[in-house]
Amino acid sequence: MRHRIAGRRLGRDSEHRLAMRRNLVASLIEHETISTTMEKAKEVKPFAEKLITLAKKGTLAARRCAIAELGNRDIISYEDGRPVKKGTIIGKLFSEIGPRYLDRPGGYTRVIRLSLRRLGDNGRLVLLQLVGEEKAPEKLSKRASKKRASKKGKKSKEAKQPKEVPESEVEGTQPETQETEIPENETEQQ
């Protein structure tokens, strides 16, 4: 029986699990989205969220704790076939990702299930992403699209009434009839 035994073994010994967890979180911070299996994503998600919570503090002690937990590998990109150092994982975590989530109390990552399965062992693949400001185009189901259509039908009375727009917002788009008419004040002055 596995009473009071937390965590998944993932077919690895403890050192390999720790190294895999660090590598997955470092890749998540670097790329902000990674593809992995469901079990690995469930295991890595709490670790990543704890590191982001440390990054929100932004203190020197928090930075040292994050380095001790994760390591501080370089972010390298290739330009013209040569490796170029762009920064470090901890630098990006504390300068970009931590300040992004200052107003958010938790839930910095999400797991999106993919319909794909890995060819070798038929493992379920998922996307592990950092929650961001960007919005992906949503594909509506038939039921959701019908609800939206019915809501639009109810608001049709409001849509038929023209909205008043102040003249200060409209530049040069006044109807032609107003342009040809001469105001009464100008005719009296001439």
Using the structure block, give the residue that is written with the tokens 């001790």: 68
Quick one: residue 118, left, alpha or beta (phi over 0 = left, psi -120 to 50 = alpha)?
beta
pLDDT at 2: 85
Instruction: Indicate whether 137 pLDDT > 50.
Output: no
Is-contact 45 10, C-beta < 8 A?
no
Q: 130-133 — which CB contacts under 8 Å span 24+ positions? A: 130/28, 130/32, 130/33, 130/97, 131/104, 131/107, 132/32, 132/100, 133/100
At 45, list the tokens: 């998600």
Q: What is the CATH number of domain 14-130?
A: 3.90.1030.10
Q: Look at 105 and 150; give whichever has higher pLDDT.
A: 105
Percent above pLDDT 90 for the chain: 65
Burial 121-148 (b: 16+ CB within 10 A, else e): eeeeebebbbeeeeeeeeeeeeeeeeee
Is-contact 110 135, C-beta < 8 A?
no
d(CA 45, CA 8): 13
Is-contact 131 107, C-beta < 8 A?
yes
pLDDT at 181: 56
Percent above pLDDT 70 for the chain: 69
Distance of CA 106 to the CA centre of its chain: 13
Mean pLDDT of 145-161: 55
pLDDT digits (tens, 9 = 90+) for 37-86: 999 999 999 999 999 999 999 999 999 999 999 999 999 999 999 999 99
- Sequence spans of domains, the chain: 14-130
